[in-house]
Amino acid sequence: MNKHFIQKIRGFAALPKSYFSLFTSTLMASVIVMTVTGTGPLDLWIFSLFFFLSTAFLNSFNNLMDIKSDYFTKDNFPLPSGQISPKEASLFSAATLIVSVATLILIGAINSSAAGVLLIDLLIGYFYSAPKVRLKRYPVIKATILIMHTAILPLIVGLTLANKSITDYLTVVFPVYVMGLAVHTVQDIGDVVGDVIVGDKTFPSMMGIKNSVSLIVLLFMLAAVFTWLVIDVNYKVLTMFLFFIQIVISMLLFIRINLWKIVYWSTALIAFAILVFLLVK
């Protein structure tokens, strides 16, 4: 097989990936919906497909818009490495958006309210990276969009499908949001050089890395304290133990900042496990 062709295939396969894996993000969103609705994956396959496609669009479009900064921090990514061209990336991103909308139409036939929520997901995914608007320039807004995409909007979709009131789950949203803010601040540590170059305002680029690490630890502590005092969790001891592990892992950044990828993935997966425990009623 032609070597150039294989390189293109690898480039297109890597384009929709990011620090937050295409498959991991899809799995998290799907599990949240299944946990809330109490249904299996076969009943919700169309929603899982949408989460996969919308994540592919968000990541590929973001990588296309971030090509300038990625030359400095992610030169192994398909665009800065030259595996695929910006034009090819544009066509790929547009294709994922079109198929996402087509999937959304099918979901609308099942539940129009859920489709409306997911339409918001697509819109914020676009404005997250879109030129001039570029919401990811602002630290809290950036993290909020990513948390909404992976956790909060899937939660609302699940509640909508199950005809449950969101007011019963409002207390869960706060620790999930705070943990998400901490996790994505860890990710921003790895992107700090590129963010400074393009002028994106993140906590590490504004506060410095050391102060950002202190903020990360404090945010995880805040989420833990709130959960202990406010939320009635079925597996409270186990949940608090997970919080403890999460805090300890985040403190590794005080020792070695180059461990940020390990800290990022570890704390993100622990945050997801905590969320599942919080949702189990």
**Separation of CA 65 from chain center:** 17
> Does one domain contain both 108 and 226?
no
Q: Considering 141, 163, 185, which residue would you say is the last residue of a domain?
A: 163
pLDDT number for residue 15? 75
Q: Considering 163, 180, 215, which residue would you say is the last residue of a domain?
A: 163
Whether the predicted pLDDT of 151 surpasses 90: yes
Task: Give the CATH number for residue 154.
Answer: 1.10.357
Average pLDDT value over all residues in the chain = 89
Q: 116-132: buried (b, 16+ CB within 10 Å) or exposed (e) per residue? A: ebbeebbebbbebbeee
> Does one domain contain both 60 and 102?
yes
| Percentage, residues of the chain above pLDDT 70 | 94
- Mean pLDDT calculated for residue range 31-39: 92
How far is 257 from 278, CA to CA, in rounded Å?
30
Whether the predicted pLDDT of 82 surpasses 80: no
List the one residue out of 227, 250, 246, 247 whose CA is nearest residue 237.
227
Domain range enclosing 184 = 165-281
- The mean-pLDDT minimum among 134-143, 175-184, 195-204 falls in 195-204
> Does one domain contain both 21 and 137?
yes
> Does one domain contain both 139 and 121?
yes
pLDDT number for residue 20? 56
Whether the predicted pLDDT of 226 surpasses 80: yes
Q: What's the total number of domains in the chain?
A: 2
Higher pLDDT, residue 69 or 124? 124
> Does one domain contain both 155 and 175?
no
pLDDT number for residue 120? 95
> Does one domain contain both 16 and 55?
yes
pLDDT number for residue 63? 83
pLDDT number for residue 73? 64
Higher pLDDT, residue 79 or 125? 125
Whether the predicted pLDDT of 17 surpasses 80: no
Q: What is the pLDDT of residues 92-123, one digit of tens each?
A: 899 999 999 999 999 999 999 999 999 999 99
Whether the predicted pLDDT of 1 surpasses 90: no
